[in-house]
Structure 1
């Protein structure tokens, strides 16, 4: 598995995660009253200001809301100024055939990346026309192979759906439905250091069985933490950065755009 950069195993690796952008074919498309393309543009401007040298950009699902080729092409166009190697995985709102068409002759959908002293494995947890996630046998075997083939590297696993409860009652049922099988694989490989996901539109940072568990804000609307029912907050969109150290530790943080004013329009509930 070739490296995507010239980093050595002694170098730290800077990752940037963009997630849940929910773009439309129409550049004026909005979600709950928020123009998602404009929101993503503002987040990207913040990334450019704060992260001048990105080693790998991870887009962890729901890049689009309508699953159109035009929306994926817009995502590529908007993220191009970041000048970063990138990898995408689908979320529950994505359309796999359109993703394939929009990424032809690129490496955007490759699922295993060696970079620095780390291996990043990206899993496809989306289920056709369903909100919840599931890792089929092909994905679980890919995970086993990726972990087995690089025992001396530190590993970060990325997927769209949450594999643990996150404290929002309404969202728990649309997480990863075979999380036990997923964790059963991870427990066999102590080199797994971190899990990273999207889907929940809010930050999450905990530890479980020695693994760092991380989720991030959406680049568009945010879900209200600890909510019992579906609820969107007026909090600003943002992104997560991760600095992966050669010794297997990591530093990470969330950054949000400034001067953001938004009140969700539930009458336009097209989520």
Structure 2
């Protein structure tokens, strides 16, 4: 069994770190745009509209425009609906919470993915991963401190719902990915989301100063580049190798929160975030161990 060359592994890790920085920057820009009067529908529309040319250019330079043909438009439509709901909740959590807190709640995606894999896909889930799920939710309680009033409950619920929807998207992408290249999936999500977002945007048109327009356009460009970097990262390195890089977004969240909004994480973050991260890393590790065991058995057979 051959393994990926070290230079490809490093390229995958570098692209994943780049994607984390870009997407964290996008979320900071979303919060800045809202502070300057832009609405959530506006930021969502610009996020997708400005990303489409980037995606098309990427496809044209890579697999070619012919690769966007699909016979699974229904599956792409379902992914788009869930994706838009996830984007609403992700951006909503960023607007309702400080950046570091919003990003910490995003770390619960592996926890929800484990639960959904067991309940929906009926995949075997051992006691190790269930223990990690319990540990992860204990970390959420430490961060949220329910009843203390230190953490907006509405923001916490929206953030957790965003993580749940992202986990649902991961399962949908796993199913779509059996027949569709990643570039095709990215293209159809970007394209199919524009009509509903455009209709909503028409009811939210409002004037802005040049700086705010520039921020809205940059939201789309930076977000699109971040999405492409994520997609490219798994072409060079296994998912289990690059996913731990996602937790570096907390560093970006703390830095942007302090630089742009003068906020620092609450005390619960410093304890709860490492607990959630440890839970997610262990889930990824266990999945990697089980996949390698299955591969070894298949080779043995």
TM-score normalised per structure 2: 0.27
User: Which of the pair has the greater relative contact order for Cα pairs under 8 Å at 6+ separation?
Assistant: 2
Which of structures 1 and 2 has the bigger CA Rg? 2
More helix by share: 2
By percentage of residues, which structure has more strand? 1
TM-score under structure 1 length normalisation? 0.30
